[in-house]
Amino acid sequence: MWVLAIPFALLLLLVCSFLFLLFKKWKAALIVFSFFLTLNIWSETYPLHISYFLGSEKGKDLKVLSYNIHSRDPNYVNVEDDIISFLMKEDADIVFLSECYTKEAHVLDSVLKKKYRVGYDLCNISMEKLYSKWPVDSIEVVKVDTTNAECQQLFSEKPELRKHFKYSLIYKTHLFAGKDTLTLVCCHLESSHVHGDSLSIGEYKSALDDAYTVRGLEADAIYESLCREPHPMIVMGDLNDISGSYALRRIQSLGLYDAWWKGGAGYGRTFHDGKLNFRLDHILYSKDFFSLKRVNVVDDDKSDHNALTASFQYKY
C-alpha cells in the first residue's frame, strides 16, 4: 500500500526543490525536481493543463458522469434536492451513481428515470444505478474467477477474504448511438472500510492490504473481460484506488487514458472524509477512439465523494 504515500511524497519533493532554489542550491534543486517529475509522470498524480480552465463543451459528442452520492449518510435527506438539481444541470449522456440506495434515494431515482431513456438498478441490493440517453443492448456482471489457482492460494493463506467475493459491483454494458457501439464498464471496487478511529495500526494496515489485493483481482477480471473488445471503451466509477496503483495500471494497460491526467489541473481529489483526501474516482477511456474535450471534478460537501465528469469527441 506504499502507493498511498505517492501524493504526499511528491509534495515533499516539490517543497524540497523550492527550498533548494531559495538557498541557491541549483544542482540539488534540479536533482530533486527531476525525481518529482519522474515519479509524477509514472504515477499520473498531479496533471498541469492550463487548457483545462479554457475548455469548451460546445459540440460535445458524449458526456459521462460518475458520482458516489453516499445516500445512506444521515445528511443525505438534506442535500438530495441539491444533488438532483446538479445532475439535471450537468445533463450528462451517461450517469453512473454509486451508493444510490433505492430506499433512501427513491425521489432522485424517479426523477432521473423520467429524464433518461434508460434507468437501471445494476445491483441486486439496489445501490448502483446507471442512467443513459443511449439505448442499452446488454448488461453483464463481471466477476472474479475465484476458482483459479491464484485465488485458491490466496484463500488458503487468508480464508477471511472469501467474503469479499460474494457479489460483484462491476458491470459491463454495450450501448448504442446510431451505428456506434460503446463498451462501458461501471464499477465500484472494493473499499478498505477503515473509517472511524476504533482500529489499531495493525488492523488498519491489514484492512488496507486486503482491500488492495481484492481490487487487484477485480482489475484483473476487468482486463480479462475487455481485452478482446472491438468497441470504444470507457471504464468509470469509484475505483477506491489512486493513480499508480496496480488496479489502475492494470486496467489502463488495455490502452486506456486517465481523463484527469490528460485534461485536469492539480490533484483533483474526489474523496474527502474530513481527514483523508484522495482521487479514488476515475474515468478511463480508449485513447484510439476518443478525444477528451473537458474533465471536471465538482468539489462540494454533498457527499464524501465529489462528482467527476468528462466530455469527449469521437476520433472516427
- Cα-Cα end-to-end distance for the chain: 40
Bigger pLDDT: 204 or 131? 131
Tens of pLDDT, residue by residue over 16-68, are: 999 999 999 999 999 999 999 999 999 999 998 765 544 454 545 899 999 99
How many whole angstroms separate alpha carbon 315 and alpha carbon 261? 19
How many whole angstroms separate alpha carbon 76 and alpha carbon 98? 14
Residue 238 confidence (pLDDT) above 70: yes
Bigger pLDDT: 309 or 157? 309
How many whole angstroms separate alpha carbon 257 and alpha carbon 161? 31
Cβ(183)–Cβ(233) under 8 Å? yes
The CATH architecture annotation of domain 50-314 reads 4-Layer Sandwich (3.60)
Q: What percent of the chain has pLDDT over 90?
A: 68
Question: pLDDT-derived band of residue 316, with 50, 70 and 90 as boundaries?
Answer: low
The segment with the largest mean pLDDT, out of 98-102, 149-153, 236-240, 300-304, is: 236-240
pLDDT of residue 179: 76
pLDDT of residue 54: 43
pLDDT, the chain, mean: 89
pLDDT of residue 59: 44
pLDDT of residue 273: 81
Question: In this structure, how many other beta carbons lie within 10 angstroms of the beta carbon of residue 275?
Answer: 7
Distances in Å between the Cα of 296 and the Cα atoms of 55, 202, 241, 245, 259 are 10, 36, 18, 22, 9
Question: In this structure, how many other beta carbons lie within 10 angstroms of the beta carbon of residue 79?
Answer: 18
Residue 175 confidence (pLDDT) above 50: yes
- 301 Cβ neighbours under 8 A, 6+ residues apart: 272
Tens of pLDDT, residue by residue over 273-313, are: 877 889 999 999 999 889 999 999 998 889 999 999 999 98
3-state helix, strand, coil in the chain (%, to 5): 40, 25, 35
pLDDT of residue 55: 47
Least confident of 119-123, 217-221, 252-256, 262-266: 119-123
Question: pLDDT-derived band of residue 160, with 50, 70 and 90 as boundaries?
Answer: confident
Residue 226 confidence (pLDDT) above 70: yes
Q: DSSP secondary structure string, 247-298?
A: HHHHHHTTTEEEHHHHH-BS----EESSS-EE--EEEEEETTTEEEEEEEEE
